[in-house]
Structure 1
């Protein structure tokens, strides 16, 4: 039996309708996907602008430090002389010399290949050739090197005559800022922070390393930035952390916190380039933990870099 004209029209209409609806559904999904892509691109643009603004701020501080350095230092008869004749020269600390054999060990450690070869293990950390390369030349120090060095400071603090030290690793501060004390409760299950003399907190600000020190001897929370920056958020967050930690572990309020001072250290050696912030952070910590006045300068950094390589591969501080 032949199809009736009405049936053919109806079927054609249904087919066209289904194609139309299918196209509408596809276009709707496409528009949704396009909006989502656009939103992500906007967010990435905002994050990029924020990062560039932050990096620009640090770069400006670096340039300012270098300009200050050029103004303060002149060259006379091939010797650097300060223009401020009235300022008394500080007695320079005698630093341990690296012997020829020690220098050779450092040179061997700086051989870059294979970069994944583990040269030393300790403190549940592994240091590879690639990690030690961050101490070479003007490279930026990485988390592994800084965390290993902080552990060496803690280990020295167990010896008689030294301040008792606990150092948080480099992942502590970001977690503190993002999640507060509740995100870090388990970090101190086996540690009584209030039995320490000093607590070290490495602070990473994207392109820049700084140091915060909780000092139970002087009742201060101090901030050390080799670029002269301030970070009140860090100081306030650490004070709040101490109070919360005392409530959690001691089951009481940390009443003496009212006597504590928050300090941004100003009279400290500044860095004069854009790459040694990690070194300054480590050396601030090293001097502070042995109770020494911070007297090093930018000129000491090449020596300190090589010395740190030897100290790490031998798991032994020289001073």
Structure 2
């Protein structure tokens, strides 16, 4: 009995040993398969990476070739007039003192220190500052025969046009013939946002400039209808606008904050009314704010 028991015990032990060996062999085989698969995956991944890199390189090269063939070389940014230490002193003094003090009287407008402070930091421009600046643009066109002959409406024109229609604005042009001008600037106030519309009679266009990329077809149509009504009222003949281009201009500088819309609008007008390429950007706005303070205080634009 004891002998049989020992034999069974030995047999079971040997069977267990064989099982352990077989298990080790299976584990080793699986490890080899894993290592082999890992090596294959790494090689495959490297091949894919090289293919993607080559495809990207090919695309970039093709894009550069197309750009060289189709897109003209960009013009250098306009060199802006540098503000001197003496000019900066005038600018600094404009912000110091009684906010209610009138600093400038011109164009039947009074600009107070409080008005000028809307040009400081990231403040929103008010109507007085924008209207005064539009008058500076008009004055420059009168004094510079080589510049487009320009007229500008004030900031209250567009809201009244929408409210009362062209008939509500007939008296606004008693002393001016719009159709003798090359360009008309119309500041557009949308409650919390300033934009600029430009009528250019030279190429028969009405264009809308929004530094936040918006479109305003209603504005474009309203201005076209205003021109038709104004011509009929003042000239007593229909005005053919069938060839006019109405455009929401998109390829223009965009503001990177919520407060520089008025600055962008005025700067669009200043550039366009001297037929300058629009090359400024958001980073130029602190400079333009200081420049505008100096221009308003002295009563003339720096760029003649």
- TM-score category, normalised to shorter length: 0.7 to 0.9
User: Of residues 138, 141, 162 in structure 2, which corresponds to 1:154?
Assistant: 138
The RMSD of aligned alpha carbons is 1.2
Partner deviation per Cα, 1:79-103 (whole Å, 9 max, x = no partner): xxxxxx9586641211101110100
| Alignment partner, residue 238 of structure 1 | 223
2:258 pairs with 1:274: yes
Q: CA deviation at 1:114?
A: 1.0
Local SS of the residue matching 1:301:
helix
2:125 pairs with 1:141: yes
Partner deviation per Cα, 1:156-210 (whole Å, 9 max, x = no partner): 0112111101100000000000001111000001110000000000000011000
2:185 pairs with 1:224: no
2:105 pairs with 1:129: no
| Alignment partner, residue 31 of structure 2 | none
Aligned residues: 233
| Alignment partner, residue 290 of structure 2 | 306
2:265 pairs with 1:289: no
Q: CA deviation at 1:110?
A: 1.4
Partner deviation per Cα, 1:61-119 (whole Å, 9 max, x = no partner): xxxxxxxxxxxxxxxxxxxxxxxx958664121110111010010000012x3111000
| Alignment partner, residue 45 of structure 2 | none
Local SS of the residue matching 1:259:
coil
- Please give the alpha-carbon distance, in whole angstroms, between the structure 2 residues aligned to 1:144 and 1:126: 8
Local SS of the residue matching 2:242:
helix
| Higher Cα radius of gyration | 2
User: Of residues 226, 232, 245 in structure 2, which corresponds to 1:261?
Assistant: 245
- Please give the alpha-carbon distance, in whole angstroms, between the structure 2 residues aligned to 1:187 and 1:301: 32
Partner deviation per Cα, 1:255-279 (whole Å, 9 max, x = no partner): 2x11101000011111110000000
What stretches of structure 1 of length at least 5 have no aligned partner?
Answer: 1-84
Which of structure 1's runs of 4+ aligned residues deviate more than 2 A? 85-90
TM (norm. structure 1) is: 0.72
Local SS of the residue matching 2:151:
strand
- Please give the alpha-carbon distance, in whole angstroms, between the structure 2 residues aligned to 1:126 and 1:258: 41
TM (norm. structure 2) is: 0.75
- Please give the alpha-carbon distance, in whole angstroms, between the structure 1 residues aligned to 2:175 and 2:148: 19
Aligned pairs (5 A) from 1:1-319: 90-111=75-96, 113-158=97-142, 159-255=144-240, 257-319=241-303
- Please give the alpha-carbon distance, in whole angstroms, between the structure 2 residues aligned to 1:273 and 1:148: 24
- Please give the alpha-carbon distance, in whole angstroms, between the structure 1 residues aligned to 2:81 and 2:110: 26
- Please give the alpha-carbon distance, in whole angstroms, between the structure 1 residues aligned to 2:138 and 2:162: 24
